[in-house]
Amino acid sequence: MNDIPPLPLYQRIYAIVRQIPAGKVATYGQIARIVGGCTPRMVGYAMSATPTGSDIPWQRVINAQGKVSPHGDGFGTEMQRALLMEEGIAFDSQERVDFDRFGWLPD
């Protein structure tokens, strides 16, 4: 029998988010379904708690409408959008990402 405890929730979330390649996005709900035992809101909390300087590409997790969720005083929202654009992700006139083109489908 294996007595190794499972990873804490945030560590499981971060492990999945690390798999999202540059130029692709996933939703909070998608990550929650993959991880299991959590909600999209919990994934959002984990993204907000991402340690500074980590290798976790938090910017690649967006809401189900294909938009960057508002956070902070707006600075974080603009930073996330800029980081995504640097990766080649385009936004339409309504500030949405096309999931057919940029959505991440894990193996």
Query: What token pair was written down for 11?
Result: 């560590």
Looking from the CA of 32 toward its CB, the CA atoms found within 13 Å total: 17
Residue pair 63/94 in contact by the 8 Å Cβ criterion: no
Q: Which pLDDT tens digit goes with each residue over 61-85?
A: 999 999 999 876 667 889 999 999 9
Q: Which fold has domain 9-102?
A: Arc Repressor Mutant, subunit A (1.10.10)
Domain ranges for the chain, please list them.
Answer: 9-102
Let me know the angle formed at the C-alpha of 52 by 30 and 92, rounded to the nearest 5 degrees: 45
- Measured in whole angstroms, the distance separating CA 71 from the mean position of its chain's CA atoms is 14
Indicate the DSSP class of residue 36.
-
Higher-pLDDT residue of 77 and 60 is 60
Question: What confidence score (pLDDT) does residue 68 get?
Answer: 96
Indicate the DSSP class of residue 101.
H
Q: Which pLDDT tens digit goes with each residue over 27-55?
A: 999 999 999 999 999 999 999 999 989 99
